[in-house]
Amino acid sequence: MAFVRRKPKTYDRMNVEEQTTSAGPLIALSGVHKTYRTGRLEYPAIRGVDLSVRQGEMVSIVGPSGSGKSTILNLLTGIDRPTAGEVVVDGQRIDRMGEEQLATWRGRRVGIVFQFFQLLPTLTALENAVLPMDFARLWRGKERIERATGNLEMVGLGDKLDHLPSELSGGEQQRVAIARALACDPVLLVGDEPTGNLDTETAARMLDLLARLNESGMTVVYVTHDANLASRAKRTIAIRDGLIESDG
């Protein structure tokens, strides 16, 4: 399957800075804590994490259930906010952004792939792949279709544009999810157990695709329970009890 990444564009209508504003790492977490509260109960999910990821790295994050690995992904994508500490992504202090600014930044700078695909069941593969561009208000109708078609062709689904999710296999649905995540030319692709709902062979093919994206220059960070899939990344970070246990 041919694999060509387009050069990301620069946009004039942004409310947040489009270009990286720092010569430092793409991701930098400094002294980050995250405590979840339910009534009088508190649960410290992250307890003082320092972490940096360079542009172009492929990083896997592993750890037992409840260790805090998914919380780290939620923090660096702005889905969650830290209780304390700083979160910098692509030169932006995203922990200081307002909700609207954060949603705009996330929609245009980060692609997220979830374990359960989260495709809209009444939309075709092409319509699902176009949707982030609609939300981000990037490009116009014809170019959105061309870009989404190109992304689906890139993940090997050029012949399934008009198929509904129910007409696709699990692996094909996950490839649609990856094409959707690439819609706005993000600087960072994040996967939260992106292969957790797939069989072993299909999961390996998904990691092949993520590896090719990384080889093209995309920064990829993903969480997995599978040690074999984790080893596909050149760098693996182990999380336990809300702390980084190892990084290598």
Q: What is the pLDDT of residues 96-124, one digit of tens each?
A: 999 989 988 988 889 998 877 889 999 99
| pLDDT given at position 23 | 61
| pLDDT given at position 201 | 85
| pLDDT given at position 207 | 87
Give the Å distances, CA to CA, from 38 to 41, 114, 241. 5, 25, 19
| pLDDT given at position 1 | 42
Q: What is the 3-state secondary structure (H, E, C) of 108-172?
A: HHEEEEECCCCCCCCCCHHHHHHHHHHHHCCCCHHHHHHHHHHHHHHCCCCCCCCCCHHHCCHHH
**Distance, CA of 31 to CA of 47 (rounded, Å):** 8
| pLDDT given at position 228 | 86
| pLDDT given at position 81 | 94
| pLDDT given at position 20 | 44
| pLDDT given at position 136 | 73
Please identify every stretch of the chain with a pLDDT value under 70, giving residue numbers as ranges.
1-23
Domain 55-70+99-247: assigned CATH number:
3.40.50.300
